[in-house]
Amino acid sequence: MNTFKKLKLFYWPYKKYFILSLVFLIFVTAITVVYPIILQQTIDNVVLGDQYSLIPYIAGIFILLMVVKGFATYFHQYLGDLFGIVSVYKLRNALYGKLQTLSFKYYDNAKTGDIMSRMTADVEGFRFFLSAGFAELIRIVLLIGLSLAVMFYYSVPLALVTMAAMPFLIIVVFKFDKRVHPAFRKIRKSFGNLNTRVQENISGMNTVKSLSREDFEIGRFSKNNDNYRKNYLKTSYIWAKYFPLMEFIGDVCAVALLTFGGYLVISGSLAPGELIAFFSLVWYIMGPLMNLGFVVNQFSQAKASGERLLEILDAKEDIVEKENALQTDIKGHVTFKDVTLTYIEDDDAALKNISFDAPPGKVIGLIGATGSGKTSITQLITRFYEAEKGDVLIDGHPVVDYELKKLRSSIGFVLQEPFLFSTSIRENIAYGNPNVTDEQVIDAAKRAQAHDFIMEMPKGYDTMLGERGMGLSGGQKQRIAIARAICVDPSILVLDDATSAVDMETEFKIQKALKEVMKGRTSFIIAHRISSLKHADEILVLEDGKIVERGVHDELVSNNGTYQRIYDIQYQDREAIMGTVQI
């Protein structure tokens, strides 16, 4: 029950629904136990006792009990469902909120499909047990307790014979739980892996088809699907092994009851109606005890689901905000002092002793091979990761001193592959600033060179986009992302290879838009094309996580270093190619 104790804060505030549900459950269970008593009275007094005048009274009582039981069942089920639904509503919100606070380091190792599985299937599995499993467990205890009380009232010896089988049945049930819980945990894990495979395949469908890897993907999916099938079959084997054993114990108990009960009827110690009522009550005990296996099954699934949900809720938050964090406006003076960053412990450092100073309004260019540490610098400014050594300062204060929301809302990003939501263009542009007006959205789009193509669309700014901006070209997505950055009005702007994936004409339009958005802001331009960096106030050339050169474009070109080699590759080779074409 440790898992349920840890998740108690999500369902215990709504215990009133659960308690009221149990009150009605007591009515339902008590009326259920009264049925065999009515049957006994009918057989012994009406059929065998020839008291036919009792039939209207017995029928009236029976109908009244059925009506009461119907109403009680309705309220029991409704309140039980209400308890489960409102509990997981709070739990689901907490999970989603936690996912928003976890750092990039968590998502570096997490799988999207597995997270989706936890947020849907595992939450629903936990809800089902809250709505029905807890109540069913209590119903079983009540039904067994009340049935035994009536049985002892009828015949103590016969009740003891019946109880003799119960310890064996309970032992089997608990052995079943010990085997089935790990099996269900494997099922949940394999289901998460299956979801991950589907999610990755759909997201990367263009790559799959362009490389003709459909058969390979089918094979990978089949492997995950087969693993899920095997885990489910193992669980089915456990069920198939234990449930016949439970039923066999119940049947043995029924045979013993009929044998000994028949002897008591013949000897006159027990009335025929009492034996029939006794036989009905035995199945009110054996049936729930065997049903305990189903409840244990639900409990095991809920426990496995709860453990997976707790893995998210208990995940370490690497980026923690200080108490009384700074909420002052950020001007954009960025300073790195001997900064070192390592993503994975005992791995090579992504950044090594990085130092530079970027006063407000200055443009810093970052260039280097893939993996040289360009993006890592910008991720430290936003505190997506924490520096292992050294200090990252903004306006003279360590970034750890700032309120996270204030810090990140002061930094605008335009990425190589901008993410657009499946909503209207207007909402995408205004996403970073909910208080922006329609006039400001249009102004931002104009400054980003996006207004004209937006107005050519069927519904203009109200045009709904497909998933990840489906229906727009790369350049159009980029310019909407620039408009979004303008609406945020950041003090610091990060342009991460913002023009590398577009043609020259589109690049010209984007560069024009970027010059507009960069005015008065501290800007970091990550680029592979030197043409994007020529105007930078300082260019940092990175190699293996170190700054190997720094300066302005003209200085670096004449230094005969890494920057010059990149320049020669991009410009001299291009000139040679153009000369060949002219010839």
Q: Is the pLDDT of residue 291 over 90?
A: no
286 and 354 share one domain: no
Q: What is the pLDDT of residue 23?
A: 92
For residues 498 and 487, is the Cβ–Cβ distance under 8 A?
no
Nearest to 189 by CA among 136, 286, 122, 120: 122
Provide the token pair at 171.
């032992």
Q: Is the pLDDT of residue 49 over 80?
A: no
Provide the token pair at 179.
């085997």
Hunting for tokens 């060949």 — which residue is that? 580
CA gap 419, 467 in Å, rounded? 9
Q: Is the pLDDT of residue 364 over 50?
A: yes
Q: Is the pLDDT of residue 337 over 90?
A: yes
| In-domain check, residue 478 | no
Which pLDDT band holds residue 501 (cuts at 50, 70, 90)? low
Provide the token pair at 238.
């456990």
| In-domain check, residue 420 | no
CA gap 167, 173 in Å, rounded? 10
225 and 367 share one domain: no
Domain count for the chain = 2
CA gap 373, 496 in Å, rounded? 12
Which residues have CB under 8 Å from 435's CB, separation 6+? none
- For residue 335, give its domain range: 328-410+528-583
Task: Answer with the one of 285, 313, 341 that is the final residue of a domain.
Answer: 313
385 and 262 share one domain: no
193 and 340 share one domain: no
Hunting for tokens 């052995």 — which residue is that? 175
Nearest to 499 by CA among 379, 414, 373, 374: 414
| In-domain check, residue 465 | no
CA gap 280, 300 in Å, rounded? 30
Strand 522-526 versus strand 363-368 pairing type:
parallel
Q: Is the pLDDT of residue 48 over 80?
A: no
What's the whole-number mean pLDDT along residues 241-251?
Answer: 77
- The helix/strand/coil state of 366 is strand
Nearest to 519 by CA among 544, 487, 486: 486
Read off the pLDDT of residues 460-487 as tens digits, 9 standing for 90 and up: 889 888 766 677 877 788 888 888 888 8
365 and 293 share one domain: no
310 burial (CB, 10 Å; 0-12 / 13-18 / 19+) is: middle
Better-scored residue on pLDDT, 256 or 204: 256
Better-scored residue on pLDDT, 165 or 551: 551
Read off the pLDDT of residues 443-459 as tens digits, 9 standing for 90 and up: 888 888 888 888 988 88
- Write the CATH number for 388: 3.40.50.300
Hunting for tokens 């996580």 — which residue is that? 545
Give me the chain's average pLDDT, please. 82
Q: pLDDT exceeding 90 applies to what percent of the chain?
A: 11
Which pLDDT band holds residue 507 (cuts at 50, 70, 90)? low
| In-domain check, residue 70 | yes
Q: What is the pLDDT of residue 157?
A: 84
8-state DSSP, 424: B
Q: What is the pLDDT of residue 201?
A: 75
- Write the CATH number for 251: 1.20.1560.10
**Which residues are registered as beta bridge partners of 495?**
414, 525
267 and 384 share one domain: no
Read off the pLDDT of residues 250-263 as tens digits, 9 standing for 90 and up: 777 777 777 887 88
What's the whole-number mean pLDDT along residues 217-221?
Answer: 82
252 and 107 share one domain: yes
345 and 304 share one domain: no
299 and 405 share one domain: no
Q: Is the pLDDT of residue 164 over 90?
A: no
Nearest to 332 by CA among 373, 291, 367, 362: 362
Better-scored residue on pLDDT, 573 or 557: 557
210 and 340 share one domain: no
The DSSP code sequence of 487-548 is HH--SEEEEESTTTTS-HHHHHHHHHHHHHHHTTSEEEEE-S-GGGTTT-SEEEEEETTEEE
Question: Helices 272-313 and 214-266 meet at what angle, rounded to 10?
Answer: 150
293 and 395 share one domain: no
| In-domain check, residue 368 | yes
CA gap 319, 303 in Å, rounded? 29
Q: pLDDT exceeding 70 applies to what percent of the chain?
A: 91
Strand 546-551 versus strand 538-543 pairing type:
antiparallel
Better-scored residue on pLDDT, 529 or 28: 28
| In-domain check, residue 105 | yes
Q: What is the pLDDT of residue 356?
A: 92
Task: Answer with the one of 313, 343, 363 that is the final residue of a domain.
Answer: 313
Of 179-188, 411-420, 508-517, 568-577, the range with the lowest mean pLDDT is 568-577
283 and 382 share one domain: no
Q: Is the pLDDT of residue 573 over 60?
A: no
Q: What is the pLDDT of residue 78?
A: 92
Better-scored residue on pLDDT, 54 or 205: 54
Cite the DSSP H helix spans in 314-437: 374-381, 404-409, 425-429
| In-domain check, residue 261 | yes
CA gap 201, 197 in Å, rounded? 6
Task: Answer with the one of 264, 284, 313 that is the final residue of a domain.
Answer: 313
CB atoms within 10 A of CB 279: 15
| In-domain check, residue 445 | no
Provide the token pair at 113.
């499909």
For residues 32 and 147, is the Cβ–Cβ distance under 8 A?
no
Q: What is the pLDDT of residue 579?
A: 45
